[in-house]
């Protein structure tokens, strides 16, 4: 699986959009980009995934660059409950390789 | 919607004892994954099963074994427990027909004294 690089931490004001970047420059053609988050010791929660097109669901939007070497997870209106570690994972349908993730702190 | 169920949620054992963790996947999911998350660490993949057969293996110690049963539930058996086995153990399930997205359970917190 391709390796991902994420900033270790980010802050976001409540109500603003949180944009979490991820680099995956070695991604191959059949690998999906998945985003999960983990709220303090709870089970990782699936957010969204995509292959090459941008995706949106009720939780977030995923923007994947045309060359697929990077992506951005967008939480459109962050709330305090969005404070968590966010993991960007590139995978081909097997085990998830959790990297270090981004610790997002949403502040009042 | 039904989620992944794990039991027990908390477990305390002594060194050298044995522990069994159970995972009940989302209905109609055929694949189960086990992950271990040590204190301050990120989840690490241990092992997975598809249709009751081992499908992938990660950094699972030889002291650990697992299986998936005919009703698709899975059990992780841990023997000769060590202090370093203290961790959160997560189970996830997915459906090959449903696109492989893994959904995680709440975890079992194991403390080895």
Using the beta-carbon criterion (under 8 Å), do B101 and A43 form an inter-chain contact? Answer: no
> Which chain A residue shows the shortest CA-CA distance from B57?
A95
A100 touches chain B (CB under 8 A): yes
Q: Is 80 exceeded by the pLDDT of residue B98?
A: no
> Which chain B residue shows the shortest CA-CA distance from A95?
B45
Distance in angstroms (rounded) separating the CA atoms of residues B16 and A7 = 40
Q: Are A49 and A55 in contact (CB under 8 A)?
A: yes
Q: Which pLDDT band holds residue A11 (cuts at 50, 70, 90)?
A: very high
Tens-place pLDDT, residues B64-77: 999 999 999 999 99
A98 touches chain B (CB under 8 A): yes
* Residue-averaged pLDDT of chain B: 95
Distance in angstroms (rounded) separating the CA atoms of residues B81 and B64 = 9
Q: Are A75 and A82 in contact (CB under 8 A)?
A: yes
pLDDT > 90: percent of chain A: 83
Distance in angstroms (rounded) separating the CA atoms of residues A89 and B30 = 22
So what's the pLDDT on residue A48? 97
Distance in angstroms (rounded) separating the CA atoms of residues B42 and A52 = 27
A58 touches chain B (CB under 8 A): no
So what's the pLDDT on residue A2? 62
Using the beta-carbon criterion (under 8 Å), do A98 and B44 form an inter-chain contact? Answer: yes
Interface test with chain B among A95, A101, A103, by most B beta carbons within 10 Å: A95
Tens-place pLDDT, residues B5-17: 999 999 999 999 9
Q: Is 60 exceeded by the pLDDT of residue A6?
A: yes
> Out of A38, A46, A97, whose CB is closest to B101?
A46
Tens-place pLDDT, residues A79-102: 999 999 999 999 866 789 898 999
Q: Is 60 exceeded by the pLDDT of residue A1?
A: no
> Which chain B residue shows the shortest CA-CA distance from A102?
B42
Using the beta-carbon criterion (under 8 Å), do B104 and A44 form an inter-chain contact? Answer: yes
Residues of B in contact with A93 (CB under 8 A): 96, 100
Tens-place pLDDT, residues B41-64: 999 999 999 999 999 899 899 999
> Which chain A residue shows the shortest CA-CA distance from B87?
A41
So what's the pLDDT on residue A25? 92
> Out of A36, A46, A95, whose CB is closest to B48?
A95
* Residue-averaged pLDDT of chain A: 94
Q: Are A43 and B88 in contact (CB under 8 A)?
A: no
Q: Give the number of A-B residue pairs with CB atoms closer than 8 Å.
A: 50
Q: Is 80 exceeded by the pLDDT of residue A15?
A: yes
């Amino acid at each position: 699986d391709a390796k991902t690089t994420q900033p270790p931490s980010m802050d976001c004001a409540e109500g603003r959009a949180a944009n979490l970047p991820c680099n995956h420059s070695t991604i191959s053609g059949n690998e999906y980009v998945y985003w999960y988050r983990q709220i303090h010791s709870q089970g990782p929660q699936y957010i969204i995934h995509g292959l090459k097109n941008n995706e949106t669901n009720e939780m977030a939007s995923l923007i994947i660059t045309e060359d697929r070497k990077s992506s951005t997870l967008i939480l459109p209106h962050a709330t305090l409950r969005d404070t968590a570690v966010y993991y960007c994972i590139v995978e081909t349908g097997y085990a998830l390789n959790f990297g270090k993730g981004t610790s997002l702190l949403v502040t009042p | 919607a039904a989620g992944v169920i794990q039991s027990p949620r908390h477990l305390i054992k002594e060194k050298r004892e044995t522990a069994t963790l159970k995972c009940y996947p989302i209905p109609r999911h055929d694949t189960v994954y086990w992950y271990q998350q040590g204190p301050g660490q990120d989840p690490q993949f241990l092992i997975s099963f598809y249709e009751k057969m081992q499908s992938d293996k990660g950094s699972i110690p030889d002291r650990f074994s697992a299986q998936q049963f005919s009703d698709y539930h899975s059990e992780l058996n841990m023997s000769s427990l060590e202090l370093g086995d203290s961790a959160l153990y997560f189970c996830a399930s997915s459906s090959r027909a449903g696109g492989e997205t893994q959904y995680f359970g709440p975890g079992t917190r194991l403390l080895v004294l």
